[in-house]
Amino acid sequence: MERREREELCGTTLDGRYRLIRRIGIGGTGVVFAAEDVADGGSVAVKTLRPCYVSHIDLGTRLRREAEVSRRVPHPGVVRVTDQGTLLDGSPYVVMPLLVGESLARLLQRMHALPVAMVAAISIQVAAILHSAHGAGYVHRDVKPEHILLNHGLQGELVVHLLDFGVCASEDACAAEKSRENGRVFGTPSYVSPEQASGEPNVDGRADLFSMGIVMFEALTGRLPFAASSVSKLLLRIIRDDAPRVSELRAEIDPGVDMIVSRLLQRDPRQRLPSARALSRSLSAYVGEREQVESRLLSLLAIGSGVDDATATVRSLVAQQRVA
């Protein structure tokens, strides 16, 4: 059934403007299409809910919240939602640029692990995006390599986007929404913080910092800090066990970087770095010659041209492998 979901929309034009060309991604809750903006001929991505969730109040709210986040978070690393509307079944859709780039996840699949300077360069940019999001009252709750998009800037610099705020927590969410979230785990199991794994709805930005610690650990070592034979056992390990040190797998790692990742992965949020800005500042000493580092990193990316080359990246706009 999943293979055919929303295929009836292909070839249709939404609100007289967005002609859906083909379906390019489907995940736990959403479906993404490559589309043409008939007003100017530009390529866009249109994200909808899967048919089985069209009556799900919270999922509709979260999809619309992506548009809200793009308006309220003043950072170019947040993908702009350029338009939104409603399908005939009453469910929402949002329109975004059809981005070209390569996710950190795909890069790590090829490279296994990255040098410290490259990990620092990427993490500093993600931290800057998180700093803006946290300042606007949002916690991403699903920071992972699939959601970190790497690309060339107009001047040859590294450009990083943090994708998919679809399960983000908002400080402005109503009490009823927060009550419904109590006890539920939001995010991708391998990357959630202990407080997320416990089903705590009132998490703050330090939850994203824990996830950044997992991302950095994986990027530096090629392995995740926590693994288990089932999701429930994995969540229990994240809640109860201390994370290993990067230096246990890479003895040559700089002690300062080892300490930064260790602080991010503290089970008690009070023991972590206090903010995304603090993370960015802590990593600045490990980038080295940033232009050279970014140039070497960009040379590793497998990016072609055209819509087809963007397909794998746009899949990251869809909710994948989440517990909630």
Residue whose structure tokens are 């919270």: 58
Confidence class for position 3, pLDDT limits 50, 70, 90: low
Distance, first Cα to last Cα, the chain: 21
Instruction: Tell whether the model's pLDDT for residue 182 goes beyond 80.
Output: no
Residues annotated as catalytic are 142
Average pLDDT over residues 187-201: 93
Domains of the chain, start order: 2-98 (3.30.200.20), 102-300 (1.10.510.10)
What pLDDT was estimated at residue 25? 84
Residues 6+ apart with CB under 8 A from 288: 117
| Mean pLDDT (the chain, rounded) | 89
How does pLDDT run across 11-70, given as a tens digit for each residue? 999 999 999 999 988 877 889 999 999 999 999 999 999 888 888 887 888 888 889 999
Instruction: Tell whether the model's pLDDT for residue 170 goes beyond 90.
Output: no
What pLDDT was estimated at residue 304? 53
DSSP H or E stretch at residue 245: none
CA distance 262 to 246: 8
What pLDDT was estimated at residue 310? 39
Buried b / exposed e along 106-129 (16+ C-beta atoms within 10 A): bbbeeeeebbbbbbbbbbbbbbbb
Looking at the chain, the whole-number percentage of residues with pLDDT higher than 70 is 91
Record the pTM.
0.89
CA distance 278 to 284: 10
Question: How many CB atoms within 10 Å of residue 188?
Answer: 24
How does pLDDT run across 260-308, given as a tens digit for each residue? 999 999 999 999 999 999 999 999 999 999 999 999 999 999 875 333 3
Angle at 52 between CA 178 and CA 202, to 5 degrees: 15
DSSP state of 186: -
What pLDDT was estimated at residue 324? 53
CA distance 217 to 265: 9
